Amino acid sequence: MPQRPSNKVKVYVRSRPTNNFASDAITLGRDNRTISIHRVPSTNIVDNKINDWAFHLDGVFHNISQEDIFNFVAKDVVDRTIDGYNGTILCYGQTGAGKTHTMTGFTESYPNRGIIPRTLQHLYQQINARQEFSYTVRIAYLEIYNDSMCDLLRSLDSSPEYQQQQQQQQLSIGEDSGFIYIKGLSYRLANSEEEALNLLFEGETNRAIGQHVLNKQSSRSHCIFTILIECRSVLSSDDKYTASKLNLVDLAGSERLAKTNSEGVTKREATFINKSLSFLEQAVLNLSDKKANQSHFRSSKLTHALKDSIGGRCHTVMIANIWPEIEHLEETISTLRFASRMMCVPAEPTVNEVVDPVKAIENYKRENKHLKEELALHDTLANRHGISYDPLNEQQLHEIENQCRRYVDGSVDEIQVKNIRQVQAAFNSFKTICRTTEKDVEKKYRDRFVTPDKHEYDHQDSQKMSNVSQATSSINGTAGELDGQNFALGTVSKDQRVNKDALLKMTRNKRQAGAKSSTGQLLNSKDKFSPVSLKPTGTNLQRNLTNDDDQLAHTRESNELAEAKDQRPSTPPNRAVAFEDFKQTRGLNLNKIYLENKEILASKKKQFAELARHINQVKGDIDNTRNDAERKKQERLTMGEFLNENGETIIDEEEYELIAKLQELKSSYRNDYEQWKNLQSEINYCQNLVNQCQNRLLQG
């Protein structure tokens, strides 16, 4: 597949497999790089809206496997990250389009694992193959839920002190020389693929997942899985090493609230998700526009955390997940528009070289020592003796200062220069002498011409004000200043004031009148239901008989319901029966996945045991063949060696076959051992999948 120039962000589209593909509205190009959309107008009225779109991307994948997605999209990014470049792979799309399936793929079977576990497997395979370098891998897992950051690996340290510290300390984003880091986020050391997968499973357990209209297990937060890689050369003692970062971003899905009708917590989560994705789109627009000066990266936690991961010095790849059904056509168009904007973001990845301070200091000390030895050699050749290049002590500095003072006074005509340290100390002494002289001259002028300054005037004014306040207080007969002084509104005459006795009498009369009216209403209501008015006539008697029949029928139905309740079991079924019923009803799909993963795990273990037996057998054949070859060599040495014209040893056919067989067995042993190691990591991954499915079944 042809590629665009590497100075732009790579964007790929992956469509979710569906039986209701909107073939009338969505057309995939034959070159696997274009996608066309045609929207049929809902009415015959001309509204001048755009109904046709054509998007050109780096790749369009439909009905493609997880392995092919990793090979086409992520593998090159991982390899470049190992070489020292920063990399980012992010999945963007609507809710239910398959972002989490593409990135992790946990609830599926082992062949359908996502980009993150395949990245870890490929990473450690490459590290083991590069023996001339020493690698250090650290992993962090960040979650952004409702614009609040959370460390998904915080549960690994269960000490009370650490938990209390985590509660008091909140995560914050820092920036240093253009690099973004999260204060308080834990970076866990992962020495093997197994440790890295355990960290991944631990973080996935702590993620915020909720049920949604479009997805039963929808990711309600943005998650960033970060891999830090430090690479040092084992063969050289250079103080530089590479430090790279790979961000694997699983963005939460965007949605239209008017269409999904989300309520409560789901609506609040969707509001935060849409808001953060809008800020992300604004940041992408500014990056793609060369004339834009304003940055929107600090508008949300998501954009700030991804500031150094989108374009620039980072190798960025985006996967736009779409749901190609007619009812999701608007969301598909919105996703493809964002993908087109992302393609305009410039990216020029560079290797991140870092200077090791410890090795740098050692190299500087070694170089300083060599320079001193070279200076001593030059001084010896120039007949200069007694010259020291060490830092000057206090006595030497005091002597240089006295020489400078004598030079200024005129008692010394010149100062003999010995080295550069003496020159620097002399200039410092001259600076001290000049400043001291300026202060002495300024002090003499102040003593000669004395004038009151502003502070003295302020002191006199405050003294006068205090005298005035004392005089005023003596006249009024009070002490201090008045507090809470307000302006007056005037006085009210006695005739216009409220009479308290009249007010109480008026309230008492109203209360008595209200009591009489309520009593009259109560008597009137009693007259309506007096015994005289309740005497049954013929019609009333018939009505009463009908009511009695209805009451008997209602009583009979109540008795039947009571008998039905008595026939129900008084105790719920036991846990085993309930668990089996759950596996056949609501947990049917999960149980099916659990059985598939368990079957794959059993086959992997069987293959692992067979391969181990084969390796042991090959090891035995290697030992036997080596002994036979050694025996033939001893026989040849005993009989005497024969050399050809070029001086090479001549061996017989049997010994040659033994040597060739030994090399073939060694090659087979190495290949089988590598396969055995890979199979061991696959077994650990499958075991984690089985444990996760089992826990979800028990919690369901």
pLDDT at 481 over 50: no
Q: What is the pLDDT of residue 531?
A: 39
Residue 491, marked binder: no
| DSSP per-residue string spanning 630-679 | HHHHHHHHHH--EE-TTSPEE--HHHHHHHHHHHHHHHHHHHHHHHHHHH
Q: How far is CA 285 from the centre of its chain?
A: 22
Residue 97, marked binder: yes
Q: What is the pLDDT of residue 521?
A: 46
pLDDT at 13 over 90: yes
Residue 95, marked binder: yes
Instruction: Give per-residue pLDDT as tens, 559-599.
Output: 555 555 445 555 666 777 777 777 777 778 778 888 888 88
Phi and psi (nearest 5°) for 258?
Answer: -65, -20
- In three-state secondary structure terms, 508 is helix
pLDDT at 655 over 90: no
Give the DSSP H/E element, type plus range, for residue 99: helix 99-103
| Mean pLDDT score, 7-27 | 89
The more confidently predicted of residues 43 and 300 is 300
Phi and psi (nearest 5°) for 84?
Answer: 115, 5
| Contact yes or no for 218/210 (Cβ under 8 A) | yes
pLDDT at 124 over 90: yes
Count of beta carbons in the 10 Å neighbourhood of residue 164: 10
Residues facing residue 227 across a β-bridge: 139, 246
**In degrees to the nearest 10, what's the CA dihedral of 660, 665, 670, 675?**
140
Residue 93, marked binder: yes
Residue 484, marked binder: no
Q: Where in the chain is the domain with CATH 3.40.850.10?
A: 10-355
| Mean pLDDT score, 134-143 | 94
Chosen CATH of 582-699 out of 1.10.287, 2.40.30, 1.20.58, 2.60.40:
1.10.287
Q: What is the pLDDT of residue 216?
A: 54
The more confidently predicted of residues 500 and 621 is 621
The more confidently predicted of residues 658 and 646 is 658
Q: Confidence class of residue 482 from pLDDT cuts 50, 70 and 90? A: very low
Helix%, strand%, coil% for the chain, nearest 5:
55, 15, 30
Q: Confidence class of residue 488 from pLDDT cuts 50, 70 and 90? A: very low
Q: How far apart are CA 353 and CA 243, in angstroms?
A: 6
Q: What is the pLDDT of residue 559?
A: 55
Q: What is the pLDDT of residue 43?
A: 60
Question: Which of 149-153, 325-329, 538-542 shows the lowest per-residue confidence on average (mean pLDDT)?
Answer: 538-542
Phi and psi (nearest 5°) for 19?
Answer: -85, -15
Q: What is the pLDDT of residue 322?
A: 92
Q: What is the pLDDT of residue 533?
A: 40
pLDDT at 456 over 60: no
| Contact yes or no for 364/60 (Cβ under 8 A) | no
| Mean pLDDT score, 668-674 | 86
**In degrees to the nearest 10, what's the CA dihedral of 495, 497, 498, 500?**
-90
Residue 98, marked binder: yes
Q: What percent of the chain clears pLDDT 90, i.e. is strictly above it?
A: 18
| Contact yes or no for 144/305 (Cβ under 8 A) | yes
According to DSSP, the β-strands at 188-189 and 133-145 are antiparallel
Q: How far apart are CA 37 and CA 340, in angstroms?
A: 14
Q: Which CATH architecture has domain 10-355?
A: 3-Layer(aba) Sandwich (3.40)
Q: Where in the chain is the domain with CATH 1.10.287?
A: 582-699
Tokens of 390: 């060490």
Count of beta carbons in the 10 Å neighbourhood of residue 585: 9
Count of beta carbons in the 10 Å neighbourhood of residue 563: 9
Q: What is the model's pTM? A: 0.64
Q: What is the pLDDT of residue 489?
A: 47
According to DSSP, the β-strands at 172-176 and 148-151 are unpaired
Tokens of 445: 């002028």
pLDDT at 477 over 80: no
Tokens of 570: 């008084």
Instruction: Give per-residue pLDDT as tens, 204-254.
Output: 887 766 555 455 556 678 999 999 999 998 887 777 889 999 999 999 887
Burial bucket for residue 86 (CB in 10 Å: 0-12, 13-18, 19+): buried
Which residues 6+ apart lie within 8 Å of 397 measured at CB?
425, 429
Q: How far apart are CA 644 and CA 441, in angstroms?
A: 101
Which residues 6+ apart lie within 8 Å of 371 measured at CB?
none
